[in-house]
Copies of this chain bind each other. A is one copy, B any other.
């Protein structure tokens, strides 16, 4: 454990080891996080709900127990589209003001079972779509933290909590993580159980995490999924085969982000990676529109209760997207799903030549507060069900963080962790 750091800044991995060794209490850790929140929350607005006493009570209970797992005593933030039975869950919508679910979502109950502490609920955009909520980018309060996992990204970036759950249907983990300068990890589709998640698009919605270190992301998903524990010792011996993938949407990235990604690729080659360009078959260019059609078909149905009973409480932007989604025919939807299936086959074959792909996380640095930014660089990868991780790399013209995205084959989450960690070291 890096004892030079204030408690609210240390990684979950280090903190859990210190707790297990009797050198740190969960209560002290949680108190430090709460103290940071009380200093900064007025400005950052990352939290939908915090119950300080409840968090401390959980921590004290953990301190009386033998550690249950590698997550024991660690505070976790929960995006407010994921149900909690002891804290309100409002899905980022005024329709659900004060809503209190009966049951914890599976991932929340699993964190508790593993000995974690639910610190509070982080702000989501409206139903995890694009309409901004109150959160601000901790690097510059006049900028968006991105969305839809706005609060999770801002809270982790601002050292309020080491780990927070996010969800991604378009680019709702990768984009805010990049904008806030933290690790954002969207697992392979289905790795974290989704029971108790407010569904937007059931064939795309993926629960993941925002953290400040890659081992922290690995830690929580390993505990929840039962996948084998990743050894990061192997990282120093890796010689990754990296596919530089500009994607069919390359011209949506600004010049600074394009140069940033290309500079990163050069650095990785210089550090010993084999970097070659991956040009995707032409039909991949349709995947972004396919994601929009498929998710629209699904969320316009998933939100039927809300759109029929409370149309006046739905934002204009979501109302427009619902109307578009209802116009997607079943035939169009099935054609989109079939295209995605074919492309999943192509990309699986391509991974015969690459350990991971390197690709943009977002078109540029965080824009202003009136929108959560362009999700374009998440759509295709989410549609392909691949595990993705963004890590901070460089800054934009206004000094805000930029990220690069690392993508692995479906089910290759462990390879994603170690190769991304190698990349992180190589980028310095």
State the A residues within 8 Å of B (CB).
Answer: 85, 96, 99, 101-106, 108-110, 112-113, 190, 193-196, 198-199, 202-203, 224-228, 297-298, 301-306, 308-309, 329-331, 334, 411
Which residues of the other chain, B, contact A203 by a CB distance below 8 angstroms?
A: 190
Separation in Å of the A100 CB from the closest CB of chain B? 9
Given the interface contacts A226-B330, A411-B334, does A104 sit within 8 Å of B193 by beta carbon?
no
- Known contacts A85-B305, A109-B308; 17 additional CB pairs below 8 A are A101-B102, A104-B305, A106-B199, A106-B305, A109-B305, A110-B301, A112-B308, A113-B304, A113-B308, A193-B298, A193-B304, A195-B198, A195-B199, A196-B305, A226-B297, A227-B331, A334-B411
- Tell me, in angstroms, the Cα distance from A32 to B226 when the chains sit together: 52
- Tell me, in angstroms, the Cα distance from A226 to B101 when the chains sit together: 31
Which residues of the other chain, B, contact A102 by a CB distance below 8 angstroms?
A: 96, 99, 101
Which residues of the other chain, B, contact A108 by a CB distance below 8 angstroms?
A: 305
Q: Which residue of B lies closest to A224 (CB)?
A: B301
Interchain CB contact (< 8 A) of A330 among B85, B99, B225, B305 = B225
The answer to whether A305 touches B194, judged by C-beta atoms less than 8 angstroms apart, is no
Q: Which residue of B lies closest to A329 (CB)?
A: B226
Interchain CB contact (< 8 A) of A304 among B109, B301, B331, B334 = B109
The answer to whether A104 touches B304, judged by C-beta atoms less than 8 angstroms apart, is yes
Which residues of the other chain, B, contact A190 by a CB distance below 8 angstroms?
A: 202-203
Which residues of the other chain, B, contact A195 by a CB distance below 8 angstroms?
A: 198-199, 202, 301-303
List 29 contacting pairs A-B, 8 Å CB cutoff, sorted by A: A96-B102, A99-B102, A101-B102, A104-B304, A105-B305, A106-B199, A106-B301, A106-B302, A106-B303, A106-B305, A108-B305, A109-B304, A110-B304, A112-B308, A113-B304, A190-B203, A193-B298, A193-B301, A193-B304, A194-B199, A194-B202, A195-B198, A195-B202, A195-B302, A196-B305, A226-B297, A226-B329, A226-B330, A228-B331
- Tell me, in angstroms, the Cα distance from A227 to B335 when the chains sit together: 13
Q: Which residue of B lies closest to A225 (CB)?
A: B330
Which residues of the other chain, B, contact A198 by a CB distance below 8 angstroms?
A: 195
Which residues of the other chain, B, contact A109 by a CB distance below 8 angstroms?
A: 304-305, 308-309
The answer to whether B106 touches A306, judged by C-beta atoms less than 8 angstroms apart, is no
Separation in Å of the A62 CB from the closest CB of chain B? 15
- Tell me, in angstroms, the Cα distance from A104 to B308 when the chains sit together: 11
Among A85, A110, A199, A308, find the residue whose CB has the most chain B CB atoms closer than 10 A: A199
Which residues of the other chain, B, contact A302 by a CB distance below 8 angstroms?
A: 106, 193, 195
Among A103, A112, A411, find the residue whose CB has the most chain B CB atoms closer than 10 A: A103
Among A193, A297, A330, A331, find the residue whose CB has the most chain B CB atoms closer than 10 A: A193
Which residues of the other chain, B, contact A101 by a CB distance below 8 angstroms?
A: 102
Among A85, A96, A198, A330, find the residue whose CB has the most chain B CB atoms closer than 10 A: A330
Which residues of the other chain, B, contact A225 by a CB distance below 8 angstroms?
A: 330
Separation in Å of the A246 CB from the closest CB of chain B? 30
Q: Which residue of B lies closest to A102 (CB)?
A: B99
Separation in Å of the A111 CB from the closest CB of chain B? 9
Separation in Å of the A291 CB from the closest CB of chain B? 16
The answer to whether A306 touches B103, judged by C-beta atoms less than 8 angstroms apart, is yes
- Tell me, in angstroms, the Cα distance from A105 to B305 when the chains sit together: 7
- Tell me, in angstroms, the Cα distance from A108 to B309 when the chains sit together: 13
- Tell me, in angstroms, the Cα distance from A85 to B308 when the chains sit together: 13
- Tell me, in angstroms, the Cα distance from A228 to B194 when the chains sit together: 30
Among A195, A297, A329, find the residue whose CB has the most chain B CB atoms closer than 10 A: A195
- Tell me, in angstroms, the Cα distance from A224 to B194 when the chains sit together: 23
